[in-house]
């Protein structure tokens, strides 16, 4: 049975006026922005995991601390190591007469915690956009649907034909806006959850490296694991000098 109505989404959007066009453009911008962040942040996380493993392996296999910090400084682990060594050297130079105010381990730990917080903030950049897209886009699509239904019903009332075959087409076409909103939101929400999980793993690796480095700087040796698989780096405090840290 022919109902005489053909679905045409583009024609429906343009017929809805500036508001329908604005809603479609907003959803398009949200989709492009979310997919850009999904791809960029995924590639960034993959590269950071590989860089963390390579830097940590080279760092702990170095013969001494001076050689360990002369690696590539573009990773978060390198930034953490540099700031920790600078803090240890600063304490050694200026806090020898004020040791009753703050201990060396606490002073170094504060500097490392500040650096870890900065690196975590860098990891989280862009996630706010994904979270916003995932939560807002369904409502933007719903608004477009309500506006489209309003115009569809208004047109039907003017034509004087309110039969089911005349109503179902325009109303169903208006629901496309809701589908578009969900199509934008679902990938953004899934990617946000996956990237948050990935960032937690990277943050855990950063904190684990920081703990081992803090132990080295405050005790002069790396804590040996119970299973006997000790790291090869056992460095005395005499090796820690700011001039040995690459600029």
CA neighbours closer than 13 Å in the CB half-sphere of residue 88:
27
* Model pLDDT for residues 110-126, shown as the tens digit of each residue: 889 998 998 888 888 88
Determine the Cα–Cα distance for residues 75 and 51; give it in Å rounded to an integer.
7
CA neighbours closer than 13 Å in the CB half-sphere of residue 161:
11
* Model pLDDT for residues 24-57, shown as the tens digit of each residue: 889 999 999 999 999 999 999 999 998 888 888 8
Q: What pLDDT, on a 0 to 100 scale, did the predictor assign at position 232? A: 39
Determine the Cα–Cα distance for residues 71 and 88; give it in Å rounded to an integer.
19
Region of residue 72 (left: phi > 0; alpha: psi -120 to 50; beta: else) = beta
CA neighbours closer than 13 Å in the CB half-sphere of residue 101:
7
Report DSSP state, residue 160.
Answer: T
Determine the Cα–Cα distance for residues 243 and 66; give it in Å rounded to an integer.
9
Nearest to 5 by CA among 151, 161, 154, 142: 161
Name the stretches of the chain with pLDDT < 50.
1-5, 228-247
pTM: 0.75
Burial degree of 117 (CB within 10 A; 0-12, 13-18, 19+): exposed
Structure-derived torsion over alpha carbons of residues 53, 59, 63, 66, reported in degrees to the nearest 10: 170
Structure-derived torsion over alpha carbons of residues 121, 122, 127, 129, reported in degrees to the nearest 10: 100
């Amino acid at each position: 049975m022919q109902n005489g109505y053909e679905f045409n989404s583009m024609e429906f959007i343009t017929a809805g006026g500036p508001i329908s066009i604005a809603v479609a453009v907003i959803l398009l911008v949200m989709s492009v922005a979310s997919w850009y962040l999904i791809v960029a942040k995924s590639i960034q996380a993959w590269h950071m995991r590989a860089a963390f493993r390579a830097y940590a392996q080279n760092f702990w296999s170095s013969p001494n601390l001076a050689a360990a910090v002369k690696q590539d400084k573009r990773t978060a682990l390198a930034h953490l190591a540099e700031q920790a060594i600078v803090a240890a050297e600063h304490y050694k130079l200026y806090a020898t007469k004020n040791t009753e105010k703050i201990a060396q381990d606490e002073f170094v730990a504060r500097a490392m915690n500040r650096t870890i917080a900065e690196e975590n903030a860098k990891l989280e950049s862009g996630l706010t956009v994904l979270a916003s897209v995932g939560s807002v886009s369904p409502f933007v699509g719903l608004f477009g649907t309500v506006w489209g239904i309003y115009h569809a019903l208004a047109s039907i009332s003017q034509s004087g034909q309110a039969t089911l075959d005349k109503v179902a087409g325009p109303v169903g076409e208006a629901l496309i806006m809701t589908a578009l909103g969900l199509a934008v939101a679902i990938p953004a929400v899934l990617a946000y959850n996956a990237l948050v999980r990935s960032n937690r793993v990277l943050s855990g690796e950063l904190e684990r490296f920081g703990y081992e480095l803090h132990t080295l700087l405050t005790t002069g040796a790396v804590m040996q694991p119970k299973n006997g698989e000790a790291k090869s780096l056992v460095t005395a405090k005499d090796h820690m000098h700011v001039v040995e840290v690459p600029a």
